[in-house]
Amino acid sequence: MFKNFMYQKLMRRIFKAYLSVKFGVNEFEIEENAKCLCLSPHQDDESIGMGGTLAKYNKNFTVICLTNGAKGLKTLPKEEAVKVRCEEFADALSKAQISDYKILDIEDRDLIGSYEKFSVIDIEDYDYIFIPNLIDQHKDHKAVSILLKRLLEEKKHKNNLKICMYEVWATLALPNKSVDIEEYIETKKSMIQAYKSQIEQRDYFTPIIGLNMYRAQQLNKKYMEDFTMLSISEFNKLAEEIY
Ligand SMILES: [Zn+2]
């Protein structure tokens, strides 16, 4: 009963916050010299949510995986799990020809309590920061928005910096930007398949590609990745309403 009440309260707040954002999906192309940062809570979220966009604009991107994967493989000791997951991450990004990446030394499921380690991220030069959907129900995914909000308050960043939310375990209710990834769909598939240890546990390959096909329908294309792009003030307002 209480849970139900809290859920309804949260939904009202989300929709109130969304009312101030201008929507309508447009095809989106990243400018040639734009600097982009992809924050991925775990190894594989970047490929699931925006592997095609990363492959298409590989020269523009820095990718930071925020956790080390220690708890991602229950059958292995932590050090071995970290090794496997970090190798898979490097393999996936090499398929997109991205060499600018790093992994923070934070254990998965502990992200929310790890601001100190998160705060080493320098955001001064970026034009776009990509994060998972703010209402994704995975606790590490939600944590990215909360930690980023604090980082934006404390660190220098461009005034016109845009925050772009991508889809992993919660689809976007109101996407406003869409990237055509038809030419990069095979690369995206190979990026997801690089995560052998994960797709062995759960077959998310087909549903993710299906989502990209579904997103493409609205613009009469074949495969697209959708995002909700927000200004800093829109992002802060939404984050304040929800968290
Ligand atoms: Zn994740």
Residue 44 CA, ligand 1 centroid: distance in Å: 7
Please count the other Cβ atoms lying within 10 Å of the Cβ belonging to residue 213: 13
pTM of the model: 0.92
Find the mean pLDDT for residues 19-47.
90
Contact criterion met (CB below 8 Å) for 21 and 30 = no
pLDDT in tens, 94-113: 999 999 999 999 999 999 99
Burial 66-105 (b: 16+ CB within 10 A, else e): bbbbbbbbeeeeeeebbebbeebbbbbbebbebeebebbe
Residue 5 CA, ligand 1 centroid: distance in Å: 27
pLDDT in tens, 124-179: 999 999 999 998 989 999 999 999 999 999 999 999 999 999 999 999 988 999 99
Residue 80 CA, ligand 1 centroid: distance in Å: 19
Residue 49 CA, ligand 1 centroid: distance in Å: 10
Residue 50 CA, ligand 1 centroid: distance in Å: 13
Return the pLDDT at 86. 95
- Report the range of poorest mean pLDDT among 2-16, 40-54, 132-146, 199-213: 2-16
Residue 97 CA, ligand 1 centroid: distance in Å: 22
Return the pLDDT at 24. 78
Picking from 102, 103, 97, 93, the residue whose alpha carbon sits closest to that of residue 191 is 93
CA dist., res. 184 & res. 233, Å (int): 32
Return the pLDDT at 77. 86
Residue 141 CA, ligand 1 centroid: distance in Å: 6
Residue 45 CA, ligand 1 centroid: distance in Å: 5
CATH architecture of 31-242: 3-Layer(aba) Sandwich (3.40)
